Amino acid sequence: MLEQHIRKELEQKEILLMTHLVLGYPSFEDNRQVIAKMVEAGVELIELQIPFSEPMSDGPVILKANDDALKHGTTVAACFDVAQKICAAHPHVAFLFMTYGNIMFAHGIERFIANAKELGIRGTIIPDIPPEEGERYVNACRQQAIAPIFIFTPTNTKARLEVLANVAQGFIYCVGRRGVTGSKTSFDIELQNLIESYKSVTELPIALGFGIQEKADVDFLIGKVDIAVIGTQVLRIQERDGIDAVGDFLNSVRRSS
């Protein structure tokens, strides 16, 4: 179970790292190489995004990566194939699928989740499926012991957060500010208060994403959340400085013991 995996890791670490990449961008071979660098740097959870033509919660950097991956001919079947190899190569890492509802619906909800389980995926993040429309999705996840991960945002009321918390498993993905991925988040008392409002409605581990760009950001989150999510910044560094630089960056943000 994903939640147990996270809690076991937290017995020895102050905070966990979760990274994100778009499968097929710039290529599957690049995906494999950058994941190896992530694993070497001690990343505990990795989101594998199956590209979609309208990734509504993603900012321009990840949006472009989705678009380019699709232009290169990336398919769901190919993503499944490479995900299986990646999960087998790094069994101690928790790999998650992140994509959008249309991908899952086209594949067949139960079939998509069953296939994900068979590949070694431990959780799924589908941002555009609310609980009210996701009963089959949540049930399929529970049948396969895969965590359906839901998202808390700053615009959610407390009542809405409670609804989301009641169906979520594994951990809660918490958004640190309004808007899409990629822009800088202010790590200040306002964010701390937002995190406290999130934590007040759930006992699941808390992951904080959107806008983490440097070691100081991760350090700020120690003791406040369980997982720091770094997505766009990793992709920027890979594009600008190459795959080796991703490993160097993640080593630099990992707090020394």
- Enumerate the active-site residues: 47, 58
> Residue holding tokens 């249309």?
102
Based on C-alpha coordinates, what's the Rg of the chain? 17
Task: Tell me how far apart the terminal alpha carbons of the chain are, to the nearest angstrom.
Answer: 27
CA-to-CA dists, residue 148 to 1, 48, 127, 138, 171, angstroms: 11, 15, 11, 6, 9
Q: Which residues of 21-31 are buried (b: 16+ CB within 10 A; e: fewer)?
A: bbbbbeebeeb
**Which pair of tokens denotes residue 9?**
């890791």
Helix and strand totals (H; E) in the chain: 12, 9
Residue 97: closest CA among 80, 85, 110 = 80
